[in-house]
Amino acid sequence: MGQFSFQPEESQPPKRQPSQSALRLDPMKDAHQNILEHLKAWMANHPEPDRPMLSMANLGVYSPRELCDAVERRSETGQFLESLILFGASARADGLQGVLKSFVQENEDSAGLSSSISTVSS
């Protein structure tokens, strides 16, 4: 599948806690481990981690949590999700790091919203 490289970023102070682990790839870990870690962060921040959200015309429907489990088990679905990420990363200037970063960051606002609602209600 597509090419990607691990590019260490200059260390920067994290702006928000949820994305702290999402802002860089760990050069000591392989692509599978990096993808898994970032997907777990994505799932943890996702407003609806157990709601089915991805359909595949031969593998069925999956929630964010099931997608993470599939990647962890390296099932057929997990392998497809990894290939989807690597294929997309091969076409982006910011590569795998950029794809994984957007995975985690896209839920930051909803995570922040959820926590503020919790605070108000408590």
Partner 1 sequence: MADICSIRPANDAAAIELSGWCRAMLADIPRNHSLVSDLYASAATRLAVGSAIADVRCVLFFGHGNPGSLGTPDAALIDTLNIGNAGGAIFIAMACSSASALGPDAIQQGVESYLGFNGPFAWILGDPDDQFRRAIFSGISLLTGGGSIRNALEAMQFGFDGADTYYRNAQAGRKSNSTLGQLTAFYNRHHLVLLGNQAATL
Where helices occur in 16-122 by DSSP H, the ranges are 31-45, 64-73, 76-90, 95-105, 108-121
> For binding to partner 1 (CB under 8 A), which residues are involved?
42, 46-48, 52-61, 80, 84-85, 87-88, 91, 99, 102-103, 105-110
Q: For residues 55 and 31, what is the distance between their CA atoms, to the nearest angstrom?
A: 24
Q: Which is nearer to partner 1, 4 or 122 (CB)?
A: 4
Q: How far is the CB of 37 from partner 1 (least distance, A)?
A: 15
Smallest distance from the beta carbon of 11 to partner 1, in angstroms? 23
